[in-house]
Amino acid sequence: MNLPAVLSLLLVVSTVQAFQYTELTQFIDSHQEEYVETLRDWVAIESDSSNVMRRKDLHRMMDVVAQKLRLMGGTVELVDIGEQELPDGQTLLLPKVVTAQFGTDVNKHTVCVYGHVDVQPAKLEDGWATDPYNLTDINGHLYGRGASDNKAPVLAWIHAVGAYQALNMELPVNVKFVIEGMEETGSNGLDAMILAQRDTFFSDVDYIIISDCGWLSRRPALTYGTRGNCYFFAEVAGPKQDLHSGVYGGTVIEPMTDLIGILDTLISPSGKILIPGIREAVAPLSDEEWKMYQDIQFDIEDYKNKIGVSQLMYSNKVDLLAHRWRYPTVTIHGIEGAFSDPGTKTVIPAKVTAKFSIRQVPDMDPAMVKKQVTDYLHSVFAKRKSPNKLKVTMVIGAKPWLADTQHPLYEAGKIAIKRVFDMDADMIREGGTIPIARTFQDVLGKSIIMIPIGGFDDGMHSQNEKMSRYNYIEGTKLFISYLNEVSQIQKTSVSSLN
């Protein structure tokens, strides 16, 4: 073919694509009420993976996801990933993992979209303004547990594929889905499933896409790193049962006093982790990173207002971003066995279990963190010379993840964002954890991109979690556009990067 012929063919192709994009986005706009209704149905299922009483709902949630994908003509499987052992030794069936496939064209790239449909706990009495399981639209914000983390983003990907199908347009790439129901408790059973299916379901996957995080500000973003998480239980057990604090107080060495004492040695008031070895393992902040953080638009006053605090741990942008994304931190989440109901019960709890976690960054390693924390807490406890018993267990050990931002996946993301939002993408990291991200990278050796559509103020894990209609609908358009951009990546140019 001569040059003019090639050019005119390119022109035809690009015109058709531009036309398709417009048709696709019009389709999305005209179906937005239907998308909100589906989100309402999904939010109504209390798929809390941390509450064993809700396991039935979680199983139902996975069935609903599978059925949705089946009705779209996908090749769908509900993969049995076995059982979970509870702290009391009992076992419980894990929710099945949904896998689905759309398209098998060997000449196209194959992307695998990972997401989760389990949620964090939520109760109206926690301080929600609306029922957490009844999606409520207030001024274009869709409030409900799991709306942003991660039900709407999963649905947005499904709607993106559905739009191509409804308009009888060929998908520009083959699309696979892996949707799980245990992300919020550390993705139990998923590592083994990925390993088992490495040479089957995952064998033709070129790239992994994850949309389980949020923007930093009002600007759309691409995420290139997540922190890991080591989650611990520290149990202190003393008397054989709870005791009257007036009758026995002053004579008994109280488990709660021991527990608070050792918890207080984990981190200083200024945020310095006191466990020996943790800070030393952290990769130093490079000049390049410092510059990247310096260039990011981030309004500290806005951030303070959003979370309702008058003072932060650091007062400059680079320190704040670095401590949010790429330094470890300790959080004490709660104490099981402690009296926390309203009222004034006067009791000495017999056994208390603290729950705390350490967000991890490169070059920390969960196995090392487990040893450092366990040894340290036992040594601090020993100094108290208490007759009580301390037991430390690490229940989640998720590694951090970091991507190569020079990979063509990121260039494709920038182009798609520019097209949909007419803005340049923020290049950000995520302080939270996607436990399975490192497994995709290490076990499958595949490149990953994270494309968030959650808003900066969605309140994931918090009261009044929401997803804005704008992010849900424009996010769906972003995914449509992104699939098209990925199809333009030259297969040969990335084989060495994968």
Ligand X SMILES: C[C@H](N)C(=O)N[C@@H](Cc1c[nH]cn1)C(=O)O
Which parts of this chain interact with ligand X (CB under 6 A)? Answer: 149, 183-184, 186, 212-213, 229, 231, 396, 398, 430, 432-435, 460
Instruction: Provide the token pair at 460.
Output: 């994931």
User: Nearest approach, Cβ of 27 to ligand X (angstroms)?
Assistant: 28
Q: Which residues contact 390 (CB under 8 A, 6 or more apart)?
A: 234, 235, 236, 258, 262, 377, 378, 381
Closest CA to 213 of 482, 484, 458: 458
Instruction: Provide the token pair at 416.
Output: 């798609």
**DSSP class of residue 273?**
B
Which of 399, 477 has the CB closer to ligand X? Answer: 399
Which of 244, 306 has the CB closer to ligand X? Answer: 306
User: Nearest approach, Cβ of 149 to ligand X (angstroms)?
Assistant: 5
Under 8 Å between Cβ of 467 and 454 = yes
Which of 182, 350 has the CB closer to ligand X? Answer: 182
User: Nearest approach, Cβ of 67 to ligand X (angstroms)?
Assistant: 24
Which of 101, 148 has the CB closer to ligand X? Answer: 148
Active-site choice (48, 180, 183, 184): 183
Active-site choice (48, 57, 118, 184): 118
Q: Which residues of 126-150 are buried (b: 16+ CB within 10 A; e: fewer)?
A: eebeebbbebbeeeebbbbbbbbbb
User: Phi and psi dihedrals of 459, rounded to 5?
Assistant: 65, 40
Under 8 Å between Cβ of 474 and 480 = no
Q: Is 118 a catalytic residue?
A: yes
User: Nearest approach, Cβ of 383 to ligand X (angstroms)?
Assistant: 30
Q: What is the DSSP pairing of strand 91-93 with strand 97-102?
A: unpaired
User: Nearest approach, Cβ of 186 to ligand X (angstroms)?
Assistant: 5
Which of 110, 185 has the CB closer to ligand X? Answer: 185
Instruction: Provide the token pair at 480.
Output: 């449509």
Q: What is the DSSP pairing of strand 136-138 with strand 110-116?
A: unpaired
Q: Catalytic site residues?
A: 118, 183
